């Protein structure tokens, strides 16, 4: 099997994390690249497992040291970034890496890793997305509206820019589609 970088993007609530966890269960040698963020952890999230939670000052130091392959301000005052060394060292050691990043970060990341396999996870409709976000109960009304607005932008921006698109209308089918893509791309 060939080591690959798999970049997963999609709106908040599209099921990216669930699909990634499923793929990692199917492919034990597939490693999750944990992103760095300045946002506050959600209930149940763990530092170093879900994200590396850092202060804005520590994040700026990582930028200055060249430790991030890409970074950006995703929501007002909230930064996300991708640690460079984790990806390069694992691919060098023939281990595939999967990560979750927004569409703009993906475009910057493929400049550093042009052989990456990009996969956009979409939702069947805005209503389905709104329902999923409401079930999370992690957003106030303003946060929900901002995520819905951003989702529309991401879906539009993604068109024609990704190797693959999966519409997560049925979780089992979406998991199967992602597994098939990883299997196919790891053989090429």
Domain ranges of the chain: 5-187
Three-class secondary structure of residue 144 per DSSP: helix
Q: What is the dihedral of CA 35, 58, 142, 104, to 10 degrees?
A: -50
pLDDT value at 133 more than 70? no
Mean pLDDT of the region 136-156: 73
CATH 1.20.1070.10 fits 5-187, yes or no: no
Band the pLDDT of 132: cuts 50, 70, 90: low
Mean pLDDT of the region 27-44: 92
Band the pLDDT of 150: cuts 50, 70, 90: confident
User: Which residues are CB-neighbours of 137 under 8 A, at least 6 positions away?
Assistant: none
Average pLDDT, the chain: 89
Q: Which long-range contacts (CB under 8 A, 24 or more apart) does 128-133 make?
A: 128/169, 129/11, 129/13, 129/14, 132/13, 132/14, 132/15, 133/12, 133/13
Mean pLDDT of the region 65-72: 94
Residue with the larger pLDDT of the pair 72 and 141: 72
pLDDT value at 97 more than 90? yes
Band the pLDDT of 77: cuts 50, 70, 90: confident
């Amino acid at each position: 099997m060939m080591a690959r970088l798999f970049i997963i993007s999609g709106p908040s609530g599209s099921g990216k994390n669930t699909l990634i966890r499923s793929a990692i269960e199917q492919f034990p040698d597939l490693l999750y690249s944990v992103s760095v963020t300045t946002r506050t952890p959600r209930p149940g999230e763990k530092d170093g497992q879900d994200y590396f939670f850092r202060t804005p000052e520590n994040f700026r130091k990582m930028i200055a040291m060249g430790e991030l392959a890409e970074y950006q301000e995703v929501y007002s005052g909230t930064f996300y970034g991708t640690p460079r060394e984790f990806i390069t060292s694992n691919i060098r050691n023939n281990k595939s890496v999967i990560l979750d990043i927004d569409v703009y970060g993906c475009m910057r990341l493929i400049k550093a890793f042009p052989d990456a396999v990009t996969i956009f996870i979409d939702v069947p409709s805005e209503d389905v997305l709104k329902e999923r976000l409401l079930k999370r109960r992690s957003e106030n009304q303003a946060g929900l509206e901002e995520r819905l607005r951003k989702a529309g932008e991401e879906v539009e921006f993604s068109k024609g820019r990704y190797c693959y698109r999966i519409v997560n209308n049925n979780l089992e089918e979406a998991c199967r589609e992602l597994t098939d893509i990883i299997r196919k791309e790891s053989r090429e």
